[in-house]
């Protein structure tokens, strides 16, 4: 297995941050001493049911041009050394989001998905991590994403 050293983190909006049932995931996986607020194009979406106390779901929206919301970027506690460790982080995040162990082995499901963004500076010719980002990370199947109105 190819080794690499990548830092990772999660962009959080909504209940991944405030829901008590996700506290264990936050404590186990995230460095809660390194939290950054970031402006994001988010708005309230559909109204949840009684199990979510009729709160609104937060969604990303291309309609939010100037009235931006605030999300959180929180780093993982552990550095990512190989694809299996990256996969473990993704599956833990999915379990927190779904509130159960995922029964699928892909990074999207009926109402959500996981995205991966590589720091653009790692793609530059003089970056020591260029070969890692181009060669060692396996090619994941492309998934469609749609930003709703």
Segment 22-81, tens digit of pLDDT: 999 999 999 999 899 999 888 877 787 887 777 777 778 888 888 888 899 999 998 888
Per-residue model confidence as pLDDT tens digits over 102-112: 777 666 667 67
145 against 129, higher pLDDT: 129
The alpha helices in 2-148, defined as continuous H runs, are 15-18, 23-29, 83-98, 130-131
In whole angstroms, what is the distance from residue 104 CA to residue 94 CA?
A: 10
Other residues' Cβ atoms within 10 Å of the Cβ of residue 9 = 16
140 against 57, higher pLDDT: 57
68 against 137, higher pLDDT: 68
Residue 124 has a pLDDT of 63
* Residue of 56, 49, 47, 52 lying closest to 19 (CA atoms): 52
Residue 132 has a pLDDT of 57
Helices (H) and strands (E) in the chain, counts: 4, 7
């Amino acid at each position: 297995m190819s080794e690499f050293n990548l830092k990772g983190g999660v962009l959080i909006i909504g209940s991944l941050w405030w829901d008590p049932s996700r506290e264990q995931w936050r404590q186990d996986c995230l460095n809660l001493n390194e939290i950054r607020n970031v402006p994001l194009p988010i708005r309230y979406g559909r109204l949840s049911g009684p199990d979510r106390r009729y709160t609104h779901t937060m969604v990303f929206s291309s309609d939010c041009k100037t009235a931006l919301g605030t999300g959180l970027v929180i780093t993982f506690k552990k550095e990512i050394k190989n694809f299996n460790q990256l996969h473990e982080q993704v599956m833990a995040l999915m379990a927190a989001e779904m509130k159960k162990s995922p029964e699928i082995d892909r990074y999207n499901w009926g109402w959500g998905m996981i995205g991966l963004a590589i720091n653009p500076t790692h793609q530059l010719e003089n970056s020591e991590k260029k070969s890692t980002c181009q060669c060692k990370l396996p090619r994941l199947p492309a998934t469609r994403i749609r930003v709703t109105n």
